């Protein structure tokens, strides 16, 4: 299948390993990945902070770029993020409709129909749960709010993780509670957000996991930013990176896009 990658502005800029892992994984499964070079951002930050007029241009650009990719032979769009997939599926057409642009709303709805979060694409579209990954680490999984309650991915990410060889998967207490990120919520209501983060970190640490994983780089940036501040040594690794991993040699050092204590952070020049 030819799959267009929506990398998300955050992963593109700060966590490129999420993208390379998604490419590695899908190519290993025999699929062709294309990267529409015109893409920038889905506009979720604008929508969720109340800037709907500003969002309109960003949404239009996204729909233009991915509409063209789908016209050009891509059969699906994959997003390694629950909240960006959620924005495409649940907000884009609304933003267009509100602005009175019915044609854009229709095109946005068509793009949304072909857009899938990574675990949805793997389990629902490609029909795999065992992706052939090896990851010999103690891991706990945080289900992000938008993947859980906007997209309803359910236990798909966990089914994928359970099939990973060598993994020691630990259940996260109060898993479905928000980590406190919430986009601009984390700066507008930083104190409340921090109180939520503190409880999330407490639960992550109680599992004894060395790695906290999730399907959203944004929530991981939040949790990881708190964990490294505490110097606790538990790091955050995106779900795509674990699923892309095929051996211990890479396993120890791969998931460091967010991580603190990795021996070989990908973000640092050798």
Partner 1 sequence: MSAVDLGMPGRRPPTAPAGVGGLQGATGFPAAAGVALGNAQLRANLGRATATIRAKRADVVAEVDDWEELRLAGEAIKRATMADLGTHLERLETEVTARGGVVHWARDAVEANAIVVDLARRAGAREVVKVKSMATQETGLNDALADAGIPAVETDLAELIVQLSGDTPSHILVPAIHRNRAEIREIFAAHMPGAPADLTDDPRHLAMAARAYLRRQFLAAGFAVSGANFAVAETGTLTVVESEGNGRMCLTLPRTLVTVMGIEKVVPSWTDLEVFLQLLPRSSTGERMNPYTSMWTGTHPGDGPAEFHLVLLDNGRTAVLADPDGRDALHCIRCSACLNVCPVYERTGGHAYGSVYPGPIGAVLSPQLTGIDGDGVNDTLPYASSLCGACFDACPVRIDIPRMLVHLRGEHVEARERSHRVPSAEAASMAAAAWVMADPRRFAAAQRASRLGRLLARGRDRLPRLPLPRPLSGWTAARDVPTPPPQTFREWWAGEHEASRGRPLRGPRDGAQDGGSAHGPGTRS
Strand partners, 204: none
Among the candidate windows 108-116, 121-129, 142-150, 157-165, which touches partner 1 by CB under 8 A? Answer: 142-150
| Mask for 178-217, x = binds partner 1 (CB under 8 A) | x-xxxxxxxxxxxxxxxxxx--------------------
Name the segment binding partner 1 (CB under 8 A); options: 118-126, 154-162, 203-211, 253-261. Answer: 253-261
Q: Is 173 within 8 Å of 206 (Cβ atoms)?
A: yes
Please calculate the CA angle 184-189-118 and round it to the nearest 5 degrees: 40
Minimum CB distance to partner 1 smaller for 97 or for 138 = 97
- Contacting partner 1 (CB under 8 A), which of 128, 154, 250, 252? 250
Selected range binding partner 1 among 22-30, 110-118, 119-127, 206-214, rule: CB under 8 A: 22-30
Give the Cα separation of 79 and 86 in Å (integer): 10
Q: Does 233 bind partner 1 (CB under 8 A)?
A: no
Please pick, from the candidates 111, 121, 148, 214, the single residue that binds partner 1 as defined by CB under 8 A.
148
143 belongs to the binding site for partner 1 (CB under 8 A): no
Token pair in block for residue 87: 């924005």
Map residues 102-141 to x or -, x wherever contact with partner 1 holds by CB under 8 A: ----------------------------------------
Give backbone dihedrals phi and psi of 148, rounded to 5 degrees, phi first. -80, -50
> What span, in angstroms and rounded, lies between the C-alpha atoms of 18 and 35?
14
C-alpha 18, offset from chain centre:
8
The yes or no reply on residue 157 touching partner 1 (CB under 8 A) is no
Q: Tell me how far CA of residue 101 lies from CA of 55, 56, 65, 75, 120, in angstroms.
A: 13, 10, 17, 25, 29
Give the other-Cβ count within 10 Å of 127's Cβ.
Answer: 7
As measured in angstroms, the least distance from the Cβ of 48 to partner 1 is 6
**263 scored as a contact of partner 1 (CB under 8 A):** no
3-state class (DSSP) for residue 230: helix
Strand pairing of 32-34 and 115-117? unpaired
How many residues form the binding site for partner 1 (CB under 8 A)? 96
CB 124 to partner 1: min, Å: 20
The footprint of partner 1 on residues 30-89 (CB under 8 A) is: 35, 37-41, 43, 45-55, 57-58, 60-61
C-alpha to C-alpha distance for 170 and 139, rounded to whole angstroms? 6
Nearer to partner 1, 24 or 119 (CB): 24
Q: Which two tokens stand for residue 208?
A: 């004894």
Tokens 């509100």 correspond to 98
CB of 142 to partner 1, least distance (A): 12
């Amino acid at each position: 299948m030819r799959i267009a990658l929506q990398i998300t502005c955050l992963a593109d800029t700060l966590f490129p390993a999420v993208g390379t892992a998604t490419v590695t994984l899908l190519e290993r499964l025999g699929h062709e990945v294309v990267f529409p070079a015109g893409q920038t951002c889905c506009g979720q930050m604008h929508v969720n902070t109340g800037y709907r007029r500003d969002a309109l241009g960003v949404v239009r650009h996204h729909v233009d770029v991915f509409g063209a990719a789908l016209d050009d032979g891509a059969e699906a769009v994959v997003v390694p993020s629950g909240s960006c997939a959620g924005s495409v599926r649940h907000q884009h057409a609304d933003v267009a409709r509100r602005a009175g642009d019915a044609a854009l709303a229709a095109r946005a709805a068509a793009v949304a129909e072909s857009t899938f979060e990574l675990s949805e694409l793997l389990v629902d579209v490609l029909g795999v749960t065992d992706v052939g990954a090896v990851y010999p680490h103690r891991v706990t999984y945080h289900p992000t709010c938008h993947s859980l309650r906007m997209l309803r991915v359910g236990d798909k990410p966990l089914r994928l993780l359970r099939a990973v060889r060598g993994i020691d998967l630990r259940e996260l207490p109060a898993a479905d509670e928000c980590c406190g990120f919430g986009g601009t919520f984390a700066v507008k209501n930083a104190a409340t957000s921090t109180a939520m983060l503190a409880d999330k970190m407490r639960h992550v640490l109680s599992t004894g996991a060395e790695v906290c994983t999730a399907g959203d780089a944004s929530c991981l940036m939040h949790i990881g930013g708190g964990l490294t501040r505490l110097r606790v040594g538990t790091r955050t690794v995106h779900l795509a990176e674990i699923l892309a991993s095929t051996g211990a040699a890479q396993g120890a050092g791969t998931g460091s896009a967010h991580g603190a204590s990795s021996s070989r952070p990908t973000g640092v020049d050798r």
